[in-house]
Structure 1
Amino acid sequence: MGDTTYVVLFIVFAAPFAFYVLAALFIALWPKKKLHGSYEGKHVLVTGGSQGLGRAIAFQLVAAGANVTILSRSAEKLKIVVDEAQKSATPGRGQIAYQAVDTRDFGAMQYAVAAAESMFGPIDILFPVVGKARTAKLEQLSIEDHKQAMEINYFGTLNTVYAVLPTMRERKQGSIVFITSGAAMTSYIGYAAYSPSKYAVRGLADCLRNELEYSGVTVHIAYPGQMDTPGFAEEQLTKPAECKAIEADDTMHQPEAVAKVILRDLQNGKYNMYCGDLGISILGVLGAGMSPRTNWALDILLFPIGILAGWIVRSTWSSKVRQGTSEPDMTAYQQV
């Protein structure tokens, strides 16, 4: 090869690569405008606040000086969370209250939101965290199981948004942080009821992000991975053996760590929040669709790696299903 050939090859391959590397570094290092400079004094509504991720978000917000209202169906569990949060809160900074309500009941949600706003003022930030997963193979799930998944995970979220959004629109300010799951980007055996409901929440978030773009209300979506929560423990009762095998090497995140990442990403104005999970971050590179990307240049660099990783992981999933023969204990499932 002549010198000219080497120059041409460099221009064709090396120069674009160098451009994207430099662009990725520039985007990563460029100072970001803070969406929420501080949570102090903000009124934050958290559904599913009695345990797991919702509880962790509420605790950290109270510690940051926010006024937090937590919602759940269990008044007993909510009261315990409120008592614990008040004991650890700094006097004069951050308050917490609760409303026992079923998010599937829109009328009750309207009443709960009105009561919350009468105590702490208009809601500045909404975290619809409430969710439930019933895991089993499709034919071991009833149609009612699928309906319940949609009622809790999708319509519970939708009812909350309908109850809170009008005031945000009127004030021309506010943030909604939808909580989905890695199961809103991909799915596999065991999540036939849960995953579609989370895909639905993702579709709602993508739609509202565009619809509210110039309203002063910002929309965000978080994709937590496996978390050490009571809900995850409940899933294990009926989860197919193949599903457990697929997830055996997944990182188990603590809800407190996930909450910290979500609150930081919200301050930085990120739309897609991957919650510190590498696998879900790669899924985001491959499956963000038309949604805003935090670092488009880095995504371009990682896309080929993601394609290869996806092929390897998918092959592993197929192998686990091929090897699987055991059935979950449906007696335990009926008791959940």
Structure 2
Amino acid sequence: MTHVIITGGSSGIGLAIGHIYAARGARISLIARTAATLDAARTAITAREGIDAAMIAVASADVAQEAQIRAAMHACEARFGPCDILVTAAGIVHPGPFDTLSSADFDQQMATNFQGSVYAVRAVYDSMCDRGSGRIMLVSSGAGLIGIYGYAAYCASKFALHGFAEALRSEARPRGVRVSVCFPPDTQTPQFDGEIALRPPEAAIIMGAVRPWSAETVANNIVRAIDRGRFDVFFGLSLHALGRFGSTLKPFLNWWFDRAIRSVRSIRR
């Protein structure tokens, strides 16, 4: 029986992915920082999907702490067997201009979004390679495709995931392990409202008033991509164009961004 481990599995995209795999009959392991939200997530999945709670393991860990995430993932594997599919959905975002963002805020986003994913992969990678099978989905962001005003730390962490995925894909594929990376747009999650409250007006103008995608829609696209063994997963026409033709489009987009930022600042004077 397939064993799926999901970091950031207590809410948002991670929880929505948990629902999908639980409905398929997989064994699910959810990892997040807060035990109470993990328990609530397990209850929600068992209630909606009508499955036994024994099919879902939960483990509390901060992905930014390698010892914690390794111990949590190994405990899940001890219960349900080796990890067949790993989804690294844990992430945080704290927008703000670089000169107003503390080093601690910057470092925390890098540690959670990038290093936390690396730690999770490292915990299962050797076993996957030894077995000659396994799938890894790294959750980046549309902000991993183009730099956005006020998101220097977040963009850096998500760009790093893209590079990591590309390099690891080349190493892992000959050993039977498939690595993928996805770039979700704004998604309606518990974290999203807090992000919007901190989003600088310059970023709001650049990013527009596009309605965020639902976590369920994003999750369905991610799982479909895992099924098909796709490497990179884009959402919507704009992000697909950035992913495929970014080097051509970015000079024009940056020109437009600069004009939009100047207009916001002239209004605020």
Calculate the TM-score normalised by the size of structure 1.
0.75
| Residue 92 of structure 1: how far off its partner (Å) | 6.7
Contact 1:65 1:94 in 2 (8 A): no
2:254 alignment partner, one of 290, 314, 324 = 314
Counterpart in 2 of 1:7? none
Q: Does 2:156 match 1:196?
A: yes
Q: Which runs of 5+ in 2 are unaligned?
A: none
Whole-angstrom CA distance in 1 between matches of 2:213 and 2:54: 26
Could you list the per-position Cα deviations for residues 108-159 of structure 1 after superposition, in whole angstroms to 9, with x for gaps in the alignment? Answer: 2221112101111110000011111110111111222221111111111111
Counterpart in 2 of 1:77? 37
Contact 1:63 1:93 in 2 (8 A): no
Contact 2:46 2:53 in 1 (8 A): no
Counterpart in 1 of 2:131? 171
Aligned partner letter, 1:127: V
Could you list the per-position Cα deviations for residues 217-254 of structure 1 after superposition, in whole angstroms to 9, with x for gaps in the alignment? Answer: 11000000111112121112221111112222334110
Counterparts of residues 271-286 of structure 1 (less than 5 Å): 271-274=231-234, 276-286=235-245
Could you list the per-position Cα deviations for residues 170-205 of structure 1 after superposition, in whole angstroms to 9, with x for gaps in the alignment? Answer: 111100001000111101201111100111111110
| Residue 265 of structure 1: how far off its partner (Å) | 1.4
When structure 1 is superposed on structure 2, of 71-80 and 246-255 the one drifting more is 246-255
Counterparts of residues 26-41 of structure 1 (less than 5 Å): 41=1
| Residue 64 of structure 1: how far off its partner (Å) | 1.5
Whole-angstrom CA distance in 2 between matches of 1:92 and 1:80: 15
| Residue 319 of structure 1: how far off its partner (Å) | 2.2
Q: Does 2:263 match 1:323?
A: yes
| Residue 105 of structure 1: how far off its partner (Å) | 1.6
Number of residue-to-residue matches in the alignment: 266
Counterparts of residues 116-127 of structure 1 (less than 5 Å): 116-127=76-87
Counterpart in 2 of 1:270? 230
Whole-angstrom CA distance in 2 between matches of 1:253 and 1:315: 27
Contact 1:124 1:168 in 2 (8 A): yes
Note closer, same or farther for the CA distance 1:103–1:92 as it changes in structure 2 (3 Å cut).
closer
Whole-angstrom CA distance in 2 between matches of 1:237 and 1:226: 14
Whole-angstrom CA distance in 1 between matches of 2:73 and 2:252: 46
Note closer, same or farther for the CA distance 1:84–1:318 as it changes in structure 2 (3 Å cut).
same
Q: Does 2:219 match 1:259?
A: yes
Partner SS for 1:126? strand
Aligned partner letter, 1:284: G
Which of the two has higher C-alpha Rg?
Answer: 1
Counterpart in 2 of 1:107? 67
Partner SS for 1:177? strand
- The root-mean-square deviation of aligned C-alpha atoms, in Å, is 1.9
Q: Which runs of 5+ in 1 are unaligned?
A: 1-40, 290-306, 327-336
Note closer, same or farther for the CA distance 1:92–1:55 as it changes in structure 2 (3 Å cut).
closer
Counterpart in 1 of 2:21? 61
Q: Does 2:121 match 1:161?
A: yes
Bigger fraction of residues in helix = 2
